[in-house]
Chain A
Amino acid sequence: MSQADVTMGAHSALMEEPAFRVPAKKMAMWLFIIADSATFAGCLVAYGFIRNATPNWPRPFHGITNVALMTLILLTSSLTMLFGVRSAQQGNKAGAVRWTMITAVAGTLFAILHIREWMSMIGEGATLFHNPWGTPLFGSLFYSITGLHLLHVTSGVIALIVVGLRYQGGRYKADDLEITGLYWHFVDLVWMFVVPLVYLLNLAH
C-alpha cells in the first residue's frame, strides 16, 4: 500500500463523495462529452441555418451505399466496444484486448471509407471553397462537419489502441477501458445526427 493510499484512507471519512457517485475520471469524460456535444450541436445548427437560408441548396448525393456501410460499421463498432468493456469487467484480459482491437479496426475501416468518399467528391470538383452544384457554402459545411467527426474517429482509434495496449500491459484498469468506450459511443452517437442532416437530406431524387 502506498503512502498516498494510507493518507487517503485516513482522511476518507472527511472527504466528500464524488459527484453523482461517479469516479473523477469518468465524470471528466462525461463533462468532455457534454462540451463536445455542444460543439457538434453548434456546427449542425449553423449548417441548418445556412441550408435553410440558401435558395437552391445542392443535393449532390446519388446513392446511399457508402454512407449505409459506414453507419453499419460504426454502429457495430459500438457493440464490439461494449463486449470489450464487459470482458474487462469480468477479468478476461485477452477478450477485452481482442474486442478493443476489433473496435479500432472497425474505426480505421470507417475512416478509410470516409476518406474514399471525400476523394470521390473532390474528384467531382467539390472542395472547401468551391463546388460545381451552386453555393460554395455546401463544400465548406460538408467538409467541416464530416471532417470534425473524422477527427474524433481518428483520435478514438488512437486512444483505443493506446488504452488497449496499456490495459494488456497492466498499466491501465478495466475502468480506463470503460471511459475510452464512453468516448467511442459518443462518436457513434454524433454520426446518428450527421447522417440524416448532412447526407440523407441532400440526397438527389
Chain B
Amino acid sequence: MTAATEQNGVKKDLIVYFCILALAGIQFFIAYQDISASQMFVRMLIVAIVEAALALLFFMHLWENRGLKWFVVIFTVAVILGMQYGWTDSFRLVDGVPWAK
C-alpha cells in the first residue's frame, strides 16, 4: 500500500465518518420537529437506512466486494421485509378492541 493510497483511504474514511455524524445530527433535528409520530418515524428511518448503507459500504468494505454486497443486501432485506406482515394487526389492536374510540 503506497503512502498516497493510504492517505486517500484515510481521507475517504474521514469523509464518510463526518457524513454519518451529520446524518445522526439530522435525526436529532427531526426529533424536535412539530410533526406527527408516523411522519417522524418515516423520516428518521430513511436517515437511519442511509447511515447504515454508508457504514456497510465504506466502513465494512462491502463496496469492494460486489458478490458479497448483493448477497448481504438481498438476504437482509428479504428477512426484514418478511417481518412486516404483522403491522396491519397492530392497527387492528388499536381500532378493533372494545375500548377503541
State the A residues within 8 Å of B (CB): 20-22, 30, 33-34, 37-38, 41-42, 45, 48-50, 52-53, 55, 64, 68, 71-72, 75-76, 78-79, 82-83, 86, 89-90, 182, 185-186, 188-189, 192-193, 195-197, 200-201, 203, 205
Contact = CB atoms under 8 A, between A and B. Distances in A.
Interface residues of B, number: 47
A52 B34 CA distance: 19
Contacts of B51: 189, 192
Contacts of A186: 60
A195 B24 contact: yes
Contacts of A49: 86-87, 89-90
Give the interface SS of chain A, mostly helix, strand, loop or mixed.
helix
Nearest 8 pairs between A and B by C-beta?
A: A196-B44, A53-B93, A200-B31, A20-B67, A20-B68, A53-B90, A52-B90, A49-B90
A24 B65 CA distance: 15
Contacts of A21: 65, 67
28 contacts: A34-B76, A37-B76, A37-B80, A38-B76, A45-B83, A48-B90, A49-B87, A52-B87, A52-B90, A53-B93, A64-B31, A71-B24, A75-B24, A76-B17, A78-B59, A82-B13, A83-B10, A89-B1, A188-B55, A192-B24, A192-B55, A197-B41, A200-B31, A201-B40, A201-B41, A203-B31, A203-B32, A205-B34
Given A78-B17, A78-B59, A20 B90 contact: no
B1 to A, nearest CB: 6
A182 B44 contact: no
A37 B78 CA distance: 12
